[in-house]
Structure 1
Amino acid sequence: VWTAPAEVAHQAALRSSMRSLGLSGGPTHQVTPGIGPTLATASAVGGETVVLPLVARNRVIGMLTLGKPTDEHFRQEILELAEDLSRRAALALDNARLYSERTAISQSLQRSLLPPELPTIEGVEVEVIYRAAGEGNEVGGDFYDLFPIRDGAYGFAIGDVCGTGPNAAAVTGLARHALRLLAREGLSGPAVLERLNSAILDEGARSRFLTLLYGEMRPQEDGSAELKVVCAGHPLPLRLRQDGSVEPAAEPQPLLGVIDDLELYEQTVTLDPGDVLLCVTDGVTERREGARMLGDDGLADVLTTCTGLTAGAVAARIMRAVERFASDAPSDDMAILAMRVPGLHKD
């Protein structure tokens, strides 16, 4: 605390103010670097100036300056109020900084759990839309991936790990990277997921259950695309035909990370020219407005209106419909993966 001018009788109150902040020194004690200009200004104006450090976790993160242009002194109750205000301000500033750092770390980690870019597949349109819930300060459990396996074959996945935060992120990272590694070893879809299931269970207490849709896609010379899919506890993929009909493209099977001995099987789906395969996470199908839920039927109804649209337009229309279904901000992450085989004639 610094006064200009000041009387010896009043300096005792100012020293008491500093002691309550855990600082030592007299009234001319410099509490933080860069205080010189403030004191110079106060000296030029005259009167009394009180400078209180903003201390958070034993670090000075700023200062609070109060001044009067007259020789009237600050009363003791004003000094005590200023001390309380400085403590509250320091706590608020420190919490804001911690929140900002946590958000930046979470967003960086979230980006690292998603593929930086999707490969271009000749003869197949692909579009992904991902929306994180909340303010981005928690790592979500939704993820997707699309990657080459071998010449002419591609793996795709969309999944949802139970929960959020570091444990969910650990399982998400394990799942995405294990999928790529196992698929490129030449294993079938069921074998890939069964080994991934064992790896998740090996995590012990940190393990989280995982719903996952995994498939392998191979474009064909006749313009179609052959898919082999396994749906482990995940919302079923929907197939949109050129005539506007919509049907599930897989059957439900057990999710991962719960039981040890899984017996999964894959199903073969052929996308003809003009067909669309739509894959989503449960943040889409479980979108709620009061007691109403979009559900699988609601999603299928929206998809029937997408005949003839590109994969990008399909994904965008689905997301708009989901956002319009409820006025509140989403409480769960949402991921949409749309794959379309273009028609034989130019769309």
Structure 2
Amino acid sequence: MTTANSRIDGIDASWPARLHSLWLAAQDVENVEEMARHVYAAMLAEDDVLAVTGSRWEGDRLRYLRVATTARSTTTTTTGAGTAAGRPVPPPEPGRAAARPLVHHHDLDAGTEGFAPEGRALAEAGAHFALESRFRLGENDWASYSVGLAERPRDAAVLTAMTARLVQLSEVLVASNRRIVEAREHERRLIEDAFLAEASLQMDASLDVQETLSRVARLAVPAVAEGCAVHLFADLGGLAPVASAHVAADVQPWLADLARDDPWFADLVDRAVRSGECVVLSGEELDGAPFGPHTDGPGQPVNAVSVSPLRARGKALGTLTFIYHRGEDAVAGTRLLDNLARRAALAIDTTTAYEQRRRHVEQLQRHLLPNALPVWPSADLYAAYEVADDSLEVGGDFYDAVVDRDGRLAVVIGDVCGRGAEAAALTGLARHTLRTLLEDGVLPELALQRLNTILLDQGTTRFVTALVAVLTPDGGGACLARVAAAGHPSPLVRRKDGLVEEVRVTGLFLGVLPDTDLQPTSLRLEAGDSLVMFTDGLTEARSASGVFFEDHLPEAVRDCVVEEPETAAGLVARMSAFRATGSDDTAVLVAHVKGTAG
């Protein structure tokens, strides 16, 4: 054995220098196999070393064996055939991964019992004596690094030096493996964190419940697994499937059916909910399941299943199930699964709460509007209402129509400043007050003045705008209209020939000053004419260039307000297509004179 100098790749170097070079290499290599080649070369440069072996074990199962000889030829054998004959479990015991490598001496002429298959490989290379270093790389992951010599060294100092060098090289391998594992773990976490960040963006991009559920299922396939199913608690308390996805489109119906009807699947998701922890099943744990090699069809290639409970804001929402066709080693870790489930649960809970509140707002908004407009012989009524604000607060726009005790038609449109509970309360007060007064035949301006007094008595900090018109048939098919407005946009009249006129009417806001200075006006509506009333959400809608829809309103009224049922809705649709900015609700009420004699 050389004790002073050796040659490695044509460079003379002492053992300390070579060992230093190996430690430097250990900081740069990307995998253990690459590091092993450096270590093999270091020992093969020693005199009397005929061959080197490296083996990797999982418990007593051989994962692979590599053999390098002085001829610089390398053979790699990978196997999962189970326990090698006579192979003992190596010290140190599990849990002592930090302990130093232990070196064993083997007389190969006496056989390779307890040293297979490395001993056979070294003997085949001509070795009669071997030194073996065993060291742990993980809890159940260990390796063996061995060198084969032509004969046992006669000098005890040489054997001791060889043993020390074997320990040092083993420590280099352990350190290199640790760095590689940590680097891969760091890279994996970076990839997982990037995926989780993108998943959050995708799931938070919609406030629609079904779209969010679909996104949860789709974004994880195939990034996390080949299949995914989402179960949520139904109104009656049981878990029900709400979304599923599979990388193979023709397999999706199968997965959806399993998620809905399979008893084993139902028991598994119930188990995850009860435990409150992620459940991962593979191998024999899938016995009795519709998955695994003992099944037929799409379930056969499934190697593992994971179920994560969905919890958000202290509530159990359901479960997130993944179906894996990939190998067990590729199953997502609990860190990723738990993080993804937590983010999915938060997105689902947020969208569900939003949807529930939206429904409540819509119900309340409907209560602030009439269920139906009255049928009146002399005119047809059309109304449309669009909520433009997404703040989930009740708006203040309202409209109504009543036939008074004398058979006249009173139409009302108004707007309460702001949104929310107080605006909703004032909307209800304003609408029902005007409705009661107008049913009794009170003139428009007097009805508005009475409402103003009531609002002042309420001490509200909000103001109300309103427009009231009372139509009276003249007996010849036309109608006489008396119009009063309190701070509200003036109505338009579309004549039968398409001419659009503004009805000049003025007055101050309601609920601000005792004197509203209302200036009512009267006009005649011939058969085929239409009175168009609206809130400022229509006029103040802006295009991308900043132009108000008010500038286009006469043209839109001329085009849209015709003798068709979609009169008001068509006008609102024209505005919506025009609007790029503006978030105010819009109400439109149209009275079209039919020409029927009263």
Q: Which of 232, 245, 253 is equivalent to 2:486? A: 232
Contact 1:140/1:164, CA 8 A, preserved across alignment: yes
Residue 4 of structure 1 corresponds to none
Q: Which of 302, 324, 341 is equivalent to 1:86? A: 341
Q: Which of 557, 580, 586 is equivalent to 1:334? A: 586
Q: Which of 530, 538, 541 is equivalent to 1:276? A: 530
Matched, 1:165 2:381: no
Cα offsets for 1:14-47 (capped at 9, x unmatched): xxxxxxxxxxxxxxx9452699xx8899542688
Residue 99 of structure 1 corresponds to 354
Matched, 1:175 2:416: no
Matched, 1:32 2:285: no
Give ranges in structure 1 of 5+ residues lacking alignment: 1-8, 11-28
1:202/1:86 Cα in 2 relative to 1: closer, same or farther (>3 Å)? farther
Matched, 1:61 2:313: no
User: Cα distance, 1:216 vs. partner?
Assistant: 1.7
1:31/1:223 Cα in 2 relative to 1: closer, same or farther (>3 Å)? same
User: Cα distance, 1:321 vs. partner?
Assistant: 3.8
CA distance in 1, matches of 2:497, 2:271: 79
1:245/1:54 Cα in 2 relative to 1: closer, same or farther (>3 Å)? closer
TM-score by length of 1: 0.76
1:202/1:40 Cα in 2 relative to 1: closer, same or farther (>3 Å)? farther
1:129/1:109 Cα in 2 relative to 1: closer, same or farther (>3 Å)? same
1:338/1:184 Cα in 2 relative to 1: closer, same or farther (>3 Å)? closer
Give ranges in structure 2 of 5+ residues lacking alignment: 1-94, 96-138, 140-269, 293-302
Contact 1:130/1:334, CA 8 A, preserved across alignment: yes
User: Cα distance, 1:302 vs. partner?
Assistant: 3.5
CA distance in 1, matches of 2:389, 2:306: 41
Which amino acid counterpart does residue 281 of structure 1 have in structure 2? T
User: Cα distance, 1:232 vs. partner?
Assistant: 0.9
1:95/1:242 Cα in 2 relative to 1: closer, same or farther (>3 Å)? closer
Aligned-residue CA RMSD in angstroms?
A: 3.5
Identity of aligned residues (%): 37
User: Cα distance, 1:197 vs. partner?
Assistant: 1.9
Tell me, what secondary structure is at the counterpart of 2:349? helix
Cα offsets for 1:273-322 (capped at 9, x unmatched): 23221111112112211221122x53223434579x32646535534542
After TM superposition, the structure 1 stretch with the greater mean CA deviation from structure 2, 263-272 or 120-129, is 263-272
TM-score by length of 2: 0.46
Determine which structure has more spread, i.e. the larger CA radius of gyration: 2
After TM superposition, the structure 1 stretch with the greater mean CA deviation from structure 2, 83-92 or 100-109, is 83-92
Cα offsets for 1:83-120 (capped at 9, x unmatched): 32232222112111101101111111111111111111
CA distance in 2, matches of 1:108, 1:318: 24
Which amino acid counterpart does residue 194 of structure 1 have in structure 2? Q
CA distance in 1, matches of 2:392, 2:569: 25
1:111/1:60 Cα in 2 relative to 1: closer, same or farther (>3 Å)? same
Residue 25 of structure 1 corresponds to none
Q: Which of 111, 121, 124 is equivalent to 2:376? A: 121
Residue 214 of structure 1 corresponds to 468
Residue 285 of structure 1 corresponds to 539
For 1:284-303, list aligned pairs within 5 A: 284-289=538-543, 290-295=545-550, 297-303=551-557
Cα offsets for 1:161-180 (capped at 9, x unmatched): 22222222222111111111
Residue 401 of structure 2 corresponds to 146
Which amino acid counterpart does residue 153 of structure 1 have in structure 2? R
Contact 2:509/2:516, CA 8 A, preserved across alignment: no
1:108/1:329 Cα in 2 relative to 1: closer, same or farther (>3 Å)? farther
Tell me, what secondary structure is at the counterpart of 2:449? helix
1:203/1:43 Cα in 2 relative to 1: closer, same or farther (>3 Å)? farther
Which amino acid counterpart does residue 366 of structure 2 have in structure 1? R
Greater RCO, 1 or 2 (C-alpha within 8 Å, sep 6+): 1
After TM superposition, the structure 1 stretch with the greater mean CA deviation from structure 2, 137-146 or 98-107, is 137-146
1:64/1:272 Cα in 2 relative to 1: closer, same or farther (>3 Å)? closer
1:184/1:67 Cα in 2 relative to 1: closer, same or farther (>3 Å)? closer
Contact 1:51/1:64, CA 8 A, preserved across alignment: yes
Residue 520 of structure 2 corresponds to 266
Contact 1:104/1:137, CA 8 A, preserved across alignment: no
Which amino acid counterpart does residue 86 of structure 1 have in structure 2? A
CA distance in 2, matches of 1:55, 1:114: 38
